[in-house]
């Protein structure tokens, strides 16, 4: 049986001290890291359980900014009136995660720090243009979430640093938000592909701001500059979503794996992008006054 040291800090100071130990690895809900440990796919020799650290589980809006603590669970996001009212695509993404038990245990921080290309919350947060707040003993820094991942299993986190929270501005005006995920079954499924869209319309009903984010279609969750540019430079018509979905294919590099082939993922990408763009546009049009 593999041996490891276990720490359960209760304050940020204790957490930072534990992270300074050799081979330290943060664990929160444990829904991903424990299965990886059992399969000996994790090299950590020191598990730092942050579930008891105060001040990391919250969802709030202050001075016009929504902030979500790293220990907030998927169930917290689903149940939050603030998220339901102002960022419903994030609640929708959280509802697509695993089963009830996983949503009760799994955390926002774990979903992002694991750096899986298929992280369900990532496309929604990218569409919201979220930022990650990282803390260490020396400093605190803010990183755009689009720059947080470096590749599968890799982030910009440095030794001794942890994710404290994510922030984003609540959507305003004639906006629409949508999320869609394709898996091999309706529950407990890792995404074959996912997409999230955020659109804001001008007074004429054309798209003023567009963000389109994709999951399971590249080495890391990412936005599609090609589709976003097209959406904001062309007048909206019934074919724009189709053209933008084709443009999104420029920005992806899907792989073959046990869940799907790269070719299937490209087809799925086009379908999901069309779906979320049309849904987001219709929502925004309904809010246009």
- Please say if the pLDDT value at position 184 is more than 70: no
Please state, in angstroms and as integers, the Cα–Cα distance from residue 9 to each residue in 17, 45, 106, following that order.
9, 17, 19
Instruction: Write down the pTM of the prediction.
Output: 0.92
What is the fold, at CATH topology level, of the domain defined by 5-49? 3.30.43
Q: Where does the pLDDT of residue 267 fall: very low under 50, low under 70, confident under 90, or very high at 90 and above? A: very high
Average model confidence (pLDDT) across the chain: 90
Distance between CA atoms of 129 and 154, rounded to whole angstroms? 20
The stretch 8-27 carries a mean pLDDT of 88
Q: 3-state DSSP call for residue 110?
A: helix
To the question of domain 175-287 being in CATH 3.30.390.50, the answer is yes
- Start-end of H helices in the chain: 12-19, 33-38, 74-79, 81-86, 88-95, 100-105, 108-113, 121-127, 225-233, 240-248, 262-287
Over pLDDT 90: what percentage of the chain? 69
**Residues 191-214: pLDDT tens digits?**
899 999 999 999 999 999 999 999
Flag the least confident range among 33-37, 58-62, 274-278.
33-37
Q: 3-state DSSP call for residue 281?
A: helix
Q: Where does the pLDDT of residue 59 fall: very low under 50, low under 70, confident under 90, or very high at 90 and above? A: very high
Q: Where does the pLDDT of residue 1 fall: very low under 50, low under 70, confident under 90, or very high at 90 and above? A: very low
CATH class of this structure's domain 59-168: alpha beta
- Measured in degrees and rounded to the nearest 5, phi and psi for residue 200 equal -125, 130
> Is the Cβ–Cβ distance between 163 and 134 less than 8 Å?
yes
The structure tokens listed for 229 are: 């540019």
- Please say if the pLDDT value at position 29 is more than 80: no
- Please say if the pLDDT value at position 164 is more than 70: yes
pLDDT number for residue 102 = 80
Please state, in angstroms and as integers, the Cα–Cα distance from residue 211 to each residue in 10, 165, 222, following that order.
38, 21, 10
pLDDT number for residue 162 = 94
| Choice between 47 and 244, residue whose per-residue pLDDT is larger | 244
pLDDT number for residue 20 = 87
Q: Where does the pLDDT of residue 99 fall: very low under 50, low under 70, confident under 90, or very high at 90 and above? A: confident
Domain with CATH 3.30.465.10 in the chain: 59-168
Q: Where does the pLDDT of residue 175 fall: very low under 50, low under 70, confident under 90, or very high at 90 and above? A: very high
Cβ-based neighbour number of residue 137 at 10 Å: 13
pLDDT number for residue 36 = 65
Distance between CA atoms of 117 and 125, rounded to whole angstroms? 14
Domain with CATH 3.30.43.10 in the chain: 5-49
pLDDT number for residue 41 = 61
pLDDT number for residue 190 = 78
């Amino acid at each position: 049986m593999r041996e490891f040291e276990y720490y359960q800090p209760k304050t940020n100071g204790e957490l930072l001290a534990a992270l300074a130990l050799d081979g330290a690895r943060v664990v929160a809900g444990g829904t991903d890291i424990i299965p990886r440990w059992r399969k000996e796919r994790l090299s950590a020799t020191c598990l730092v359980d942050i579930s008891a650290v105060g001040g990391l589980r919250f969802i709030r809006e202050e001075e016009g900014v929504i902030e979500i603590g790293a220990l907030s669970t998927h169930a917290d996001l689903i149940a939050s009136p603030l998220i339901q009212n102002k960022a419903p695509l994030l609640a929708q993404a959280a509802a697509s995660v695993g089963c009830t038990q996983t949503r009760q245990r799994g955390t926002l921080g774990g979903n992002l720090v694991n750096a899986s290309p298929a992280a369900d919350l990532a496309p929604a947060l990218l569409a919201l243009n979220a930022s990650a707040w990282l803390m260490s003993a020396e400093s605190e820094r803010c990183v755009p979430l689009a720059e947080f991942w470096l590749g599968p299993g890799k982030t910009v986190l440095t030794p001794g640093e942890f994710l404290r929270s994510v922030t984003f501005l609540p959507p305003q005006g004639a906006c629409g938000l949508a999320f869609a995920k394709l898996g091999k079954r309706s529950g407990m499924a890792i995404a074959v592909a996912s997409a999230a869209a955020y659109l804001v319309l001008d007074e004429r009903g054309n798209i003023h701001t567009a963000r389109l984010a994709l999951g399971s279609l590249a080495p890391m969750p990412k936005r599609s500059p090609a589709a976003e540019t097209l959406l904001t430079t062309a007048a909206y018509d019934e074919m724009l979503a189709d053209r933008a979905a084709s443009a999104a294919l420029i920005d992806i590099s899907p792989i073959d794996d046990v869940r799907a082939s790269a070719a299937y993922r490209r087809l799925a990408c086009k379908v999901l992008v069309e779906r979320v763009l049309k849904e987001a546009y219709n929502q925004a049009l309904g809010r246009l006054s």
